[in-house]
């Protein structure tokens, strides 16, 4: 991977940002400095930085230089949403209610669980998100304790594990699977809907630099939540 020089420069800096070694707002070496570091021309450095800029990982301003961008922006076609933030932004009161939290070995033969915990254990958290006192979604989450050992200390009685993860563990890749499901006996009552009632189901897996971090399955009460995606032929300039 990264066979050309501008790709190597890009992935070096990208890795530093994604690993959290540099924080949002922090300055990145100027093109002049990078030219010296990599012993190359300015065009080559510029090409690498332009890609990072278009991807929204850095912000560039003349004279001020290049800084690490604030976490995730609307630039993503589909984002990993923070439900707590989204609901607050709508002016509603967000609440997370913990149903169950436990740490255990992965179930043998269960693909997702074994992929997440190759050697160690899993954190399993079940809870309900609500807006203005009305249940919005039931979620079941698995977190790899290999990847995020420090999460074992968290109780998640007030805050959803998703919000905690967004704050502490930067993700680099994500996959959404979106479908519809009839409400199951196990959680229909938690959402205050009849068994078999329509739900929007989002299954999301996230990775950090290729390492599988977490898998979550969220069931939203029909009509109370929508996913929106806009897209065009050429990525929009930032």
Considering CB distances under 5 to 8 angstroms, the limit depending on partner class, which of a copy of itself, DNA, none binds residue 5?
DNA
Supply the minimum distance, in Å, between the C-beta of residue 33 and DNA.
7
CA angle in degrees (0–180, nearest 5) for 176-55-68: 115
| Phi, psi at 56, each rounded to 5° | 85, 15
Handedness of CA 141, 147, 153, 158 (dihedral sign): negative
Considering CB distances under 5 to 8 angstroms, the limit depending on partner class, which of a copy of itself, DNA, none binds residue 222?
a copy of itself
Considering CB distances under 5 to 8 angstroms, the limit depending on partner class, which of a copy of itself, DNA, none binds residue 108?
none
Residue 174 in contact with a copy of itself, rule: CB under 8 A: yes
Residues 198-237 that bind a copy of itself (CB under 8 A): 198-201, 220, 222-223, 225-235
Q: Of 138, 140, 142, which is closest to residue 129 (Cα–Cα)?
A: 138
CA distance 141 to 133: 22
Residue ranges in contact with DNA by CB under 7 A: 4-7, 28, 30-32, 39-44, 46-47, 49-50, 53, 60-66
Residue 152 in contact with a copy of itself, rule: CB under 8 A: no
Concatenated DSSP letters for 168-209?
Answer: HS---EEEEEEEEEEPPHHHHHHHTS-TT-EEEEEEEEEEET
Which range of residues in 19-27, 75-83, 91-99, 150-158 is near a copy of itself by CB under 8 A? 75-83
Residue 192 in contact with a copy of itself, rule: CB under 8 A: no
Residue 78 in contact with a copy of itself, rule: CB under 8 A: yes
Supply the minimum distance, in Å, between the C-beta of residue 220 and a copy of itself.
7
Residue from the set 26, 33, 70, 175 that interacts with a copy of itself by CB under 8 A: 175
Neighbours of 161 (CB within 10 A): 24
Closer CB to a copy of itself, 17 or 160, in the complex: 17
- Max CA-CA distance within the chain? 66
């Amino acid at each position: 991977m990264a066979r050309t020089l501008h790709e190597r420069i890009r992935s070096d800096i990208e890795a530093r940002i994604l690993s959290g070694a540099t924080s949002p707002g922090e300055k990145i070496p100027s093109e002049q400095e990078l030219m010296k570091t990599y012993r190359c021309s300015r065009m080559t450095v510029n090409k690498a930085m332009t890609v990072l800029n278009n991807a929204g990982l850095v912000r560039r301003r003349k004279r001020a230089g290049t800084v690490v961008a604030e976490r995730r922006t609307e630039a993503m076609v589909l984002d990993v949403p923070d439900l707590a933030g989204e609901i607050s932004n709508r002016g509603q009161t967000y609440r997370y209610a913990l149903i169950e939290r436990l740490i255990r070995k992965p179930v043998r033969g269960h693909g997702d669980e074994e992929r997440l915990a190759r050697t160690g254990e899993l954190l399993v958290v079940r809870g309900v998100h609500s807006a203005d006192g009305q249940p919005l979604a039931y979620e079941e989450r698995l977190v790899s304790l290999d990847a995020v050992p420090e999460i074992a200390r968290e109780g998640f009685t007030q805050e959803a594990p998703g919000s905690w993860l967004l704050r502490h563990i930067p993700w680099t890749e994500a996959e959404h699977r979106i479908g519809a499901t009839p409400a199951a006996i196990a959680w229909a009552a938690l959402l205050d809907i009849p068994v078999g009632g329509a739900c929007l189901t989002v299954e999301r897996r996230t990775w950090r630099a290729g390492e599988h971090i977490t898998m979550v399955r969220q069931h939203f009460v029909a009509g109370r939540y929508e996913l929106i995606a806009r897209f065009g032929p050429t990525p929009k300039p930032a």
